[in-house]
Structures are given as structure tokens and as C-alpha cells.
Homo-oligomer: A and B are copies of this chain.
């Protein structure tokens, strides 16, 4: 049995396929590439899986790293899936669960993409990486790069959370601050020579790490899917990854029936995907003057917007924008009722769940998984001193 069933890279726009065992970023047509696996060759059983260590590498057959010795890990994955009975009762969703991505290295779900992305980059021969970030992805990729012995350059808006700057610097990565948004940081990265650009969806493997959230939700629920999954959406890799995971599990024959309705949550201060969804467009328009307390989802135009919109359409999902005041109020309420101090991006999913229940889009009996994408600890200024 081989460690990974990775077979090829495929372009979801033009349909071309590419050899995965080379240093490659986007498809020549400009689209992100998606990893494809020889799923029928995966002979894993659910029992064998259950006996493996509780980290995301338990799913190695469906991950792109070919050799175990190339795995770069800080112990990421298998985060808790917690019932929220008191908060759920308040918003009228009795079967509400939180997938808590705060309990992961560097404190956000970005660690998943970084662990798999760095491991695979190292495996195909990359030794220097560069990326723009709203903060948390930079923290994560810098940490895993240090663990792998790779050189890293991280470009970040000056308005990004201060803690992320410290995280990038303490592990010895090079930090560049830009007076602008993530797009400006991306422009800086494009000008640098000698680095492999690991921007969101510009390399094919970050999404493979993030899809493990979907694999874990399915496994933790005993391979029965929830009715709804609510996800905060900036670059969109998390929600696309979850969708991809569920499709692969269906191909594997481990799940059946309808997929959960996927909900993309944005802030009213930066809601390009919600706008495109409401207008029935296949892609988004750049959002002017983007600004929100949920800094991680301040992405005016996501490279993978068309995939997010497809994921929503394919699953009968929706897209919702919530305001900053609502986000902060929900963060407090969840903390008071359940003891969980979530990040503002995570709080946005709870605000959306409450709203969708009020509108009737979420039914009283629905099992709903809301993703908290990171620690509230990384955003101390969002709560009172």
C-alpha cells in the first residue's frame, strides 16, 4: 500500500491535467489546480483509520505527501467537535456543534494548510517560500517552514493582528509589512525572486490540508453527515476544502445521501462572495474599501471565488453577510454560555447560524456544524479588558 494515492493535478477551469511531482503553481490558464487521487486504490478500512493517531495525517492516503519522512508536523488536526447545548437552545438550533480550530498549532485552521503545503513543497524540492497573508496563514506557514528548515518570506498588511507579526519573527522568517490590504501584500510577493509563491490557491496543496476539516467532521459524526456546515469565508479555501473532502469520501463509498448545505459567511464590510451569490454570478467583483473586525476574512477578491460559489450551488447552500457589531456580540454570548472564546471570524459563523434559523433557512431539527477557525486569544482587543 502506498502512503498517498495522489495521481494528478487537475484544472477545474480548463480541464487540463498536470504531473504533480514537480514544482507547479497555477494552471497555465490562470486557475488554481486541484489534487486528484486514485480513490479506488485506497484499501483503508474505517476500523484501521480509527486506530491511527489523532492528527490529520491519519488521512494520508487522501493527502498529497508521498513519503512519511517528508511529513512536517506540529501535531495538527483532530480538533474537538463540541455540542453547544446552551447556546444552541438560545438560537433555536438544538443540534448545534462547534468544530474548534483553535486547538491546533499557531491557533488557527491555517495550520492544516501549512502543514500539508509545507510538507509537499519540501517533498517536491522547494526550499524558499513566500506569501501574502492577513496574518494567521503567515504565522502558520512560517512555523511549519521553520520546522522543515525552509526559508520563508511573509508579507502582511500593517493592520493585521500584531501577534501574527511576532509569530512570524520568532520562528526566524522574514517579515515585510505593507500599508494596504492583502492584495498589496500579494503584489509585493510577486516582485520577489527566488521564492516559491504559496499564496492562497496559487499552490495546489494548502487546500488538501484544509479539507481534513471535512474528513474529521465526517469521522467524528460516525460517517453520518450534518445537515448544514457554516464557514467563515475570506479566500475560501476552507469551504472548498470541506466540499472536496466530502466528494472524495463519497467516491470512497464511506458516506452517501445529500451533502451538507454549505454556508459561506462574510462580513458586511467585505462580502464579495455574498454579493455574487445574491446576484447569481459565477465569480465575484473586487469589494471596495474592505474593512471588518474579522480581519482574516478581509479578502476583497478571492482567486477561488468561483469554486466557493460552485460549492454553495452544488450543496444547496447559501452565503450570508453579518455586521461587525453582531459578530462581537455573538462572540461574547458564546463565551458566556459555553465558555468558548472564539475568534471574530468564528463568531461570524454563529451570527450567521442565528440569522439563518430566524429566517427559517436552518430548520429546528437540523444538525449544524459551525466552524470556529481560531483562538479568540489572537484577537485580545475584540473583548473588554
Contacts and interface: CB of A to CB of B under 8 A. Distances in A.
A364 interface: no
Contacts of A337: 146
A282 to B, nearest CB: 38
Interface stretch (A32-40, A166-174, A186-194): A166-174
Interface in A67-117: 73-75, 78-82, 86, 100, 102-107
A171 B376 CA distance: 12
Give this chain's copy count. 2
A143 B339 contact: yes
Contact of A167 (B50, B166, B341): B341
B170 A384 contact: yes
Contacts of A144: 339
A165 interface: yes
B376 A377 contact: no
Interface in A147-181: 147-149, 162-163, 165-167, 169-172
Contacts of A54: 54, 78
A44 interface: no
A171 B80 contact: no
A102 B111 CA distance: 14
B75 A80 contact: yes
A171 B50 contact: no
Interface in A326-385: 331-332, 335-341, 375-378, 380, 383-385
A143 B172 CA distance: 33
A384 B103 contact: no
Q: Which of A80, A142, A332 has the most CB of B within 10 A?
A: A80
A21 interface: no
17 contacts: A50-B51, A54-B54, A75-B103, A103-B104, A103-B105, A143-B339, A143-B341, A146-B337, A146-B339, A147-B338, A147-B340, A162-B380, A165-B385, A170-B331, A170-B336, A170-B341, A172-B336
